[in-house]
Amino acid sequence: GDWFNPAAFSSGQVCGHRAVAAGPSVIIRVAADQLLGELMRNGPAAAVLLRQFADRLQRAREDAACLVFDDCNTRLIRTLLQLSQTVAAVPSADGVELRITHFQLAQAVGAARETISRALTDRKKQNLLRTGRNKLYFDPQVLRDLQQVCKEPVMN
């Protein structure tokens, strides 16, 4: 249900992306010229693609704002919650098991691996998650509740 490399639509761009399937996948490769030709003939399909581009642009703007304004711990919690909704998260007795390295998580959060390792250690001390070899165990609802508490305004 997803696609990547919108850069292929700009002139002279070559795909430098790599996709890793975390579950069963069907991959369809379509040349940008072919897709553009089809979109010229099919207005409704063009409208769907335009909406998808707009949605992605908005998400990219929000992600960029989070990188600038949110601290690492906030970005870590948000990323864990997002990943808990993907096929990479396997249900477990106490929430989900996420198979991911500290390096991969650091890339997703936009922080150094060492920073993520420290943040994970702090979250372990708070009993918000457990770690194993390339695995994280956590309850997404507990993280959502923590996220809500952090968003509540402070009353004077």
**CA-to-CA separations, 9 to 17, 28, 38, 150, in angstroms, rounded:** 14, 16, 13, 40
> According to the model, what pLDDT value does residue 79 have?
93
Residue whose C-alpha is closest to residue 35's, from 8, 2, 12: 8
pLDDT < 70 positions in the chain? 1-4, 11-17, 22, 66-68, 149-156
Give the pLDDT confidence score for residue 24 in this predicted structure. Answer: 80
Q: Look at residue 156 in the predicted model and tell me its pLDDT.
A: 46
pTM (two decimals): 0.63
Tell me what pLDDT residue 30 has: 82
Q: What is the pLDDT of residues 69-92, one digit of tens each?
A: 778 888 899 999 999 998 889 998
Q: Which residues contact 40 (CB under 8 A, 6 or more apart)?
A: 46
